[in-house]
Amino acid sequence: MGADGPSTSQVVRYGPWCVRSDIALHGLPQASTRDEADVIVLRGQVAVPGDADESCWDDGTEDAAPTLLVFRRGSSHVVQFPAEGVLVSIDAHTPRRITYDARAMTQGTDLGHVLVDQVLPRCLAAWSDHLVMHAAGVQKDGYAWLVAGPSGRGKTTLALDLAERGWTLLGDDAVALSPDARGVRVQRLRGGTRAYGSAWSKSWRPHAHDEDEPVAHLSGVITLLPRSEGALHVERLRGVEAAMALVGSAFRLDPADPSRPAGELEVVQHAPPAGVYAVAVPHGQDGRDELVAWLESAAARAREADVA
């Protein structure tokens, strides 16, 4: 394959970006093929990573690791899929090389999941003024709440519970935050939610969802703690603890880099008006129902206070 890249490609919107990819990126709205791409995603074999020029593309070496190239305006990152691995790692000697777990990531939908929910959020955080949070987001009447926490804490489940009660889904895994004249705008990155099933290969197929972009501003944030055996526990975080709840849930291209992107620092300076909360949810549906009731009550109070 030469410098012209793949013969067929998909052109989609990812938040503020136009992305051209030869890998299907499910859950992203189509963009005009006439739009200039902010990001280009290519799939193949790469012998020597690091150059932004597509001439470094080399699919002639079958022994090389299968690689994804993510290009953007003079910068490139090489994402490798080794035979084994556990989490994202960044080589200290080549900080532009990122290694992801390749177990079971063999089908197109799974590879698309890694791109949309792991690679692109980190690139957006590094290459723009957005703070990109590992969080589910919902909004009602323009007031957005984020549900943060490690994978497996129930972000998607809670977001779906709220969607069934009339909230609009902004995302179940990643959302982008950016300050504007009204506060902090919450932007949807991927529509729909991921479907869960018994087969891992079917676990990342997103449900269809309205792709219209709602305008919403950050009202409150809850961070999910490990599930509890007792009653619902809600603790409001303030000051540094509240800021760290935001920063700690942010996607970073290089977690070992102590510097903070400008967008991250700017967003943290805008405290969510309804507050930041650490929440321990009891096990079972009853526990989730308690949290949904609490969140809807807190959201209603915040809207009333803003209108007043």
Q: What is the pLDDT of residue 99?
A: 60
How sure is the predictor about 80, in pLDDT bands with cuts at 50, 70 and 90?
A: low
How sure is the predictor about 42, in pLDDT bands with cuts at 50, 70 and 90?
A: confident
Residue 183: its H or E element? strand 183-188
Averaged pLDDT for residues 80-85? 47
Give the residue, 195 or 132, on which the prediction is more confident.
Answer: 132
For residue range 246-284, what is the model confidence (pLDDT) as tens digits?
888 888 776 666 566 666 667 777 778 889 999 999 888
Averaged pLDDT for residues 18-45? 79
Q: What is the pLDDT of residue 106?
A: 47
Give the residue, 82 or 154, on which the prediction is more confident.
Answer: 154
Other beta carbons less than 10 A from residue 38's beta carbon: 20
**308: helix, strand or coil:** coil
For residue range 211-233, what is the model confidence (pLDDT) as tens digits?
566 788 999 999 999 888 888 99
The upper half-sphere exposure of residue 278, i.e. CA atoms within 13 Å in the direction of its Cβ, equals 14
Averaged pLDDT for residues 118-130? 83
Give the Cα separation of 305 and 308 in Å (integer).
5
Q: What is the pLDDT of residue 50?
A: 41
How sure is the predictor about 86, in pLDDT bands with cuts at 50, 70 and 90?
A: very low
Averaged pLDDT for residues 82-111? 50
Helix axis angle, 285-307 to 155-163, nearest 10°: 60
How sure is the predictor about 98, in pLDDT bands with cuts at 50, 70 and 90?
A: low
For residue range 162-203, what is the model confidence (pLDDT) as tens digits?
988 999 888 888 999 988 888 899 998 887 666 554 444 444
* β partners of residue 12: 19, 30
How sure is the predictor about 108, in pLDDT bands with cuts at 50, 70 and 90?
A: very low
Q: What is the pLDDT of residue 55?
A: 34
How sure is the predictor about 289, in pLDDT bands with cuts at 50, 70 and 90?
A: very high
Q: What is the pLDDT of residue 295?
A: 93
Give the residue, 164 or 83, on which the prediction is more confident.
Answer: 164
Give the residue, 216 or 53, on which the prediction is more confident.
Answer: 216
User: pTM score > 0.85 for this model?
Assistant: no
State which of 13-17, 93-97, 100-104, 288-292 shows the largest mean pLDDT.
288-292
Name the nearest CA neighbour of 104 among 201, 218, 14: 201
Q: What is the pLDDT of residue 263?
A: 62
* β partners of residue 164: none
Residue 121 tokens, joined = 């959020």
Q: What is the pLDDT of residue 16?
A: 87
Give the Cα separation of 126 and 118 in Å (integer).
13
Could you give the percent of the chain with pLDDT greater than 90?
18
Q: What is the pLDDT of residue 212?
A: 64
Other beta carbons less than 10 A from residue 152's beta carbon: 9
For residue range 11-25, what is the model confidence (pLDDT) as tens digits?
998 988 889 888 888
**115: helix, strand or coil:** helix
Look at residue 296 and tell me whether its pLDDT is greater than 90. yes
